[in-house]
């Protein structure tokens, strides 16, 4: 059976979503996105907008991505209130002609942990305005349930704080989200450091992963992007194929019955 | 002897003029600036705004090893240029450049950020290796540092003083300096100014920074602060390794400390933002607490010229040389880059 990944009515070819920050150069960034096979790319624009416009960096990237059918997912990184985030989302819709928005509202500067109350308020407003909202959330079940009820078909809980590369700090919470929100598209967003972490998220039954720093700050970002693309696809295939349950007792692959007994 | 016309009197243009005229070539330089400088208005050459760190190893944090290797070669060339400038002006060589090492610093809570930077530096062991310092050694080198910082010495690194080097390169060299002349175009054997003057030459050089005629060139906003900090000892450039900010603190003559720099993908020359000022000052004070009582002398914005791969480009065709895209590495790599470009152009 075909493994269809559909988000807000759009069929996506890859279960890897990537960011665009912190790369060594625009060329490395574009090559890494190609190598990752990602079909969705997030772009931050708060600081660039505040600085009076793009210098060709975003325009060049956007042209290349849209020519390849890659979807843009503008984000509201750096916002601290619902009002700020909603206004930036509206600007992003104008600028990029997309109603997709990755909603980020920071509640704590040190951990960059989302502010649940502001996040939910912003999500409700944006859904009412026709946005397809991808909220960056904590792994709190009640928050995610409320966001889903508010019309967010996609939920993006963190694996660990942004950029920390610590992997899935609370697999139990993520597993609970999967069990309790079977209808939601679940994406682990943030905190992944290595392809192994992405594989773990896919094995928990998550629909996709979103990451930036693990690729951008790798020794070879293009090689790491390719690795993440391969591992996400492989881990998804493994999850669908049905991973056997672990047990304590060893089971020999080749039966020992019938082998000569060497004693004496 | 060749006739050379250079468009742009930034770091690259002035170093080219200095080198070529010392080799006996007839050099004319065009630039819209009113004179040799120094300038601190952020409107002209990015080199005036830059801190002038000669820090090849530390730049490996975000640049590929070829930049570090150009930087390493340039360190030796800067020693030579500083000595030549000293000879030409009668000032001490240390008025132009100093080579007292640089330090990488990290707060104890930012061990993860430091580990990431140090891992990148270790990718090019031929460039050098940071030397971890104990508390006493660090305090002996820089007594003003906040207690508890971790520090690494990058031996042999240094700094130039842009506000002194740029004017001296122009004043002490016999080229013909055509200040106040904006260049319209640079073609093979010809520089055309906006005022309509056509300067015929054997080699025309385009060294106009963000104004150079290189495809896909963009300006990347950078912001710096100048602090006046009498009595605060700072002996060498410092770089703070932090999870979110890249901050350097660099001593200048006259009790001035330069703190920089932001890196924003926007060709925006408007004044320094509150966020940048706040972040830079916060980081600087976290490293040197006494800077809290320093006075903010000046804030400046300028644009780094960058190409899509963030690497420099040297394009040589018959009668035309374009040098550009030095991004955040102008002072660091210009001497070696120019040496290679002039060798390719057979201008000995």
- Say if residue A212 carries a ligand binding annotation: yes
**A110 close to B (CB below 8 A):** no
Out of B123, B243, B309, closest to residue A25 by CB = B309
The pLDDT score that the predictor gives to residue A259 is 59
Phi, psi of B182 (to 5 degrees): -85, 140
Burial of A259 (0-12, 13-18, 19+ CB in 10 A): exposed
Residue pointed to by tokens 């003559």: B253
Report the range of poorest mean pLDDT among A16-20, A61-65, A190-194: A61-65
The pLDDT score that the predictor gives to residue A163 is 87
- Say if residue A227 carries a ligand binding annotation: no
Q: How far apart are CA B78 and CA B158, in angstroms?
A: 10
User: Do residues B202 and B321 touch, judged by C-beta distance below 8 A?
Assistant: no
The pLDDT score that the predictor gives to residue B116 is 86
CB contact under 8 A, A219 and B220: no
User: Do residues B208 and B223 touch, judged by C-beta distance below 8 A?
Assistant: no
CB contact under 8 A, A26 and B309: yes
Parallel/antiparallel/unpaired status of strands B256-260 and B218-228 = antiparallel
Bridge partners (DSSP) listed for residue B206: B7, B322
Angle, CA B10 vertex, CA B7 and CA B13 arms, to 5° = 50
Angle, CA B39 vertex, CA B34 and CA B43 arms, to 5° = 75
Out of B123, B218, B221, closest to residue A51 by CB = B221
Q: How far apart are CA B193 and CA B181, in angstroms?
A: 7
pLDDT of A256 over the 70 cut: no
pLDDT digits over A238-249, tens only?
999 998 888 888
- d(CA A62, nearest CA chain B) in Å: 14
Per annotation, catalytic residue among A102, A197, A226, A236: A102
Using a CB-CB distance cutoff of 8 angstroms, which residues of chain A are in contact with residue B64? 24
By residue range, what is the domain housing residue A144?
A: 5-241
Q: What is the dihedral of CA A246, A250, A251, A257, to 10 degrees?
A: -170
pLDDT of A253 over the 80 cut: no
Per-residue pLDDT 10s for chain B (348 aa) are 899 999 999 999 999 999 999 999 999 999 999 999 888 888 889 999 999 999 999 888 888 889 999 999 999 999 999 999 999 999 999 999 999 999 999 999 888 888 888 888 888 888 889 999 999 999 999 999 999 999 999 999 999 999 999 999 999 989 999 999 999 999 999 999 999 999 999 999 999 999 999 999 999 999 999 999 999 999 999 999 987 778 999 999 999 999 999 998 888 899 999 999 999 999 999 999 999 999 999 999 999 999 999 999 999 999 999 999 999 999 999 999 999 999 998 887
The pLDDT score that the predictor gives to residue A60 is 80
pLDDT of A1 over the 80 cut: no
Residue pointed to by tokens 């394009």: B315
Query: Would A249 be classed as within a structural domain?
Result: no
Angle, CA A126 vertex, CA A125 and CA A127 arms, to 5° = 95
Disruptive mutation site among A45, A50, A56, A63 for chain B (greatest number of B CBs within 10 Å): A56
The pLDDT score that the predictor gives to residue A244 is 86
Structural domain count, chain B: 1
- What is the CATH classification number for the domain harbouring B322? 3.50.50.60
Residue pointed to by tokens 């660099």: B250
- d(CA B22, nearest CA chain A) in Å: 36
Beta strand residue intervals within A19-131, DSSP E: 40-44, 71-75, 100-103, 106-108, 113-114
Using a CB-CB distance cutoff of 8 angstroms, which residues of chain B are in contact with residue A28? 309
**A52 close to B (CB below 8 A):** yes
**A26 close to B (CB below 8 A):** yes
A and B: number of Cβ contacts within 8 A: 59
Query: Would A212 be classed as within a structural domain?
Result: yes
Q: How far apart are CA B138 and CA B104, in angstroms?
A: 11
What percentage of chain A carries pLDDT values higher than 90?
70
Using a CB-CB distance cutoff of 8 angstroms, which residues of chain A are in contact with residue B310? 24-27
Give chain B as a 3 state SS string.
CCEEEEECCCHHHHHHHHHHHHCCCEEEEEECCCCCCCCCCCCCCHHHHCCCEECHHHHCCCCCHHHHHHHHHHHHHHHHHHHHHHHHHCCCHHHCEECCCEEEEECHHHHHHHHHHHHHHCCCCCCCCCEEECHHHHHHHCCCCCCCCEEEEECCCEEECHHHHHHHHHHCCCCEEEECCCEEEEECCEEEECCCCEEECCEEEECCHHHCCCCCCEEEEEEEEEEECCCCCCCCCEEEECCCCEEEEEEECCCEEEEECCCECCCCCCCCCHHHHHHHHHHHHHHCHHHHHCEEEEEEEEEEEECCCCCCEEEEECCEEEEECCHHHHHHHHHHHHHHHHHHCCCC
Query: Would A248 be classed as within a structural domain?
Result: no
- What is the CATH classification number for the domain harbouring A25? 3.20.20.70
CB contact under 8 A, A55 and B218: yes
Residue pointed to by tokens 């896919």: A202
The pLDDT score that the predictor gives to residue A261 is 57
Structural domain count, chain A: 1
Phi, psi of B319 (to 5 degrees): 75, 5
Parallel/antiparallel/unpaired status of strands B320-324 and B190-193 = unpaired
By residue range, what is the domain housing residue B100?
A: 3-344
Q: How far apart are CA A15 and CA A27, in angstroms?
A: 23
CB contact under 8 A, B219 and A55: yes
Residues in chain A: 264
B100: left (phi over 0), alpha (psi -120 to 50) or beta: alpha
- DSSP symbol at A209: E
Query: Would A118 be classed as within a structural domain?
Result: yes
Cβ-based neighbours of B169, under 8 Å, separated by 6 or more: B14, B15, B17, B18, B85
User: Do residues B281 and B289 touch, judged by C-beta distance below 8 A?
Assistant: no
Closest CA to B154 of B136, B184, B127: B127
Q: How far apart are CA A166 and CA B2, in angstroms?
A: 60
Query: Would A171 be classed as within a structural domain?
Result: yes
Burial of A101 (0-12, 13-18, 19+ CB in 10 A): buried
| CA terminus-to-terminus distance, chain B | 9
CB contact under 8 A, A56 and B273: no
**pLDDT interval class at A48 (50, 70, 90):** low
CB contact under 8 A, A54 and B265: yes
Disruptive mutation site among A21, A23, A25 for chain B (greatest number of B CBs within 10 Å): A25
The pLDDT score that the predictor gives to residue B235 is 96
Query: Would A260 be classed as within a structural domain?
Result: no
Among this protein's residues, is A102 annotated catalytic?
Answer: yes
Secondary structure (3-state) at A83: helix
Cβ-based neighbours of A89, under 8 Å, separated by 6 or more: A74, A76, A101, A103, A122, A126, A131
Q: How far apart are CA A247 and CA A52, in angstroms?
A: 60
* Pair of tokens at residue A195: 């392809």
The pLDDT score that the predictor gives to residue A131 is 97
Query: Would A22 be classed as within a structural domain?
Result: yes
- d(CA B61, nearest CA chain A) in Å: 9
The ipTM of this complex is 0.81
The pLDDT score that the predictor gives to residue A96 is 83
Residue in chain B closest to A47 (alpha carbons) equals B264
Q: What mean pLDDT is predicted for residues A207-234?
A: 95
The pLDDT score that the predictor gives to residue A46 is 66
CB contact under 8 A, A52 and B216: no
pLDDT of A51 over the 80 cut: no
pLDDT digits over A142-198, tens only?
999 999 999 999 999 999 999 899 999 999 999 999 999 999 999 999 999 999 999
Residue pointed to by tokens 């210098």: A55
Query: Would A143 be classed as within a structural domain?
Result: yes
């Amino acid at each position: 059976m075909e493994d269809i990944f559909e988000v807000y009515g759009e069929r996506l070819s890859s279960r890897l979503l990537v960011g665009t920050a912190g790369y060594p150069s625009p060329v490395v960034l574009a090559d890494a996105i190609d190598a990752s096979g990602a079909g969705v790319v997030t772009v931050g624009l708060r600081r660039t907008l505040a600085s009076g416009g793009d210098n060709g960096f975003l325009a060049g990237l956007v042209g290349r991505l849209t020519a390849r059918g890659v979807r843009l997912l503008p984000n509201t990184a750096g916002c601290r209130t619902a009002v700020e985030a909603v206004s930036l989302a509206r600007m992003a819709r104008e600028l990029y002609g997309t109603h997709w928005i990755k909603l980020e509202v920071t509640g704590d500067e040190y951990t960059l942990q989302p502010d649940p109350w502001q996040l939910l308020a912003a999500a409700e407003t944006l859904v009412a305005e026709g946005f397809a909202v991808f909220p960056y959330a904590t792994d709190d079940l009640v928050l995610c349930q409320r966001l889903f009820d508010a019309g967010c078909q996609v939920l993006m809980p963190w694996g660990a704080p942004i950029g920390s590369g610590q992997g899935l700090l609370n697999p139990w919470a993520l597993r609970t989200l999967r069990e309790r929100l079977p209808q939601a598209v679940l994406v682990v967003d943030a905190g992944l450091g290595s392809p192994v972490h992405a594989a773990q998220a896919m094995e928990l039954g998550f629909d996709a992963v979103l990451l930036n720093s693990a690729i951008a700050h790798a020794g070879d970002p293009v090689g790491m992007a390719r690795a993440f693309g391969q591992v996400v696809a492989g881990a998804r295939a493994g999850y669908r194929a049905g991973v056997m349950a672990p047990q304590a007792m060893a089971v020999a692959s080749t039966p020992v019955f019938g082998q000569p007994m060497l004693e004496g | 002897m060749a006739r050379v016309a250079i468009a742009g009197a930034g770091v690259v243009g002035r170093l080219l003029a200095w080198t070529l005229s010392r080799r006996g070539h007839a050099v004319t330089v065009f630039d819209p600036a009113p004179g040799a400088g120094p300038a601190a208005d952020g409107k002209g050459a990015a080199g005036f705004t830059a801190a002038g760190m000669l820090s090849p190893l530390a730049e490996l944090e975000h640049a590929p090893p070829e930049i570090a290797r150009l930087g390493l070669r340039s360190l030796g060339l800067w020693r030579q240029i500083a000595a030549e400038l000293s000879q030409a002006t009668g000032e001490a060589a240390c008025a132009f450049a100093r080579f007292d090492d640089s330090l990488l610093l990290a707060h104890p809570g930012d061990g993860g950020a430091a580990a990431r930077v140090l891992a990148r530096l270790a990718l090019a062991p031929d460039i050098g290796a940071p030397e971890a310092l104990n508390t006493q050694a660090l305090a002996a080198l820089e007594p003003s540092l906040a207690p508890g910082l971790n520090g690494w010495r990058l031996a042999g690194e240094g700094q130039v003083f842009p506000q002194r080097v740029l004017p001296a390169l122009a004043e002490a060299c016999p080229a013909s300096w055509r200040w106040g002349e904006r260049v319209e175009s640079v073609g093979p054997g010809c520089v055309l100014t906006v005022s309509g003057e056509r300067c015929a030459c054997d080699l025309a050089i385009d060294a106009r920074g963000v104004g150079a005629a290189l495809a896909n060139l963009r300006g990347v906003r950078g912001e710096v602060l100048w602090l006046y900090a009498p009595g605060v000892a700072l002996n060498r450039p410092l770089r703070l390794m932090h999870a979110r900010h890249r901050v350097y603190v660099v001593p200048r003559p006259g009790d001035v400390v330069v703190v920089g720099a932001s890196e924003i993908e926007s060709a925006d020359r408007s004044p320094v933002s509150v966020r940048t000022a706040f972040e830079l000052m916060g980081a600087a004070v976290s490293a040197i607490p006494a800077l809290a009582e320093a006075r903010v002398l000046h804030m400046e914005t300028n644009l780094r010229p960058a190409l899509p791969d963030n690497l420099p480009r040297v394009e040589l065709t018959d009668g035309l040389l374009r040098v550009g895209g030095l991004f955040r590495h102008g002072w660091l790599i210009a001497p070696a880059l120019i040496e290679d470009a002039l060798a390719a152009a057979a201008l000995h």
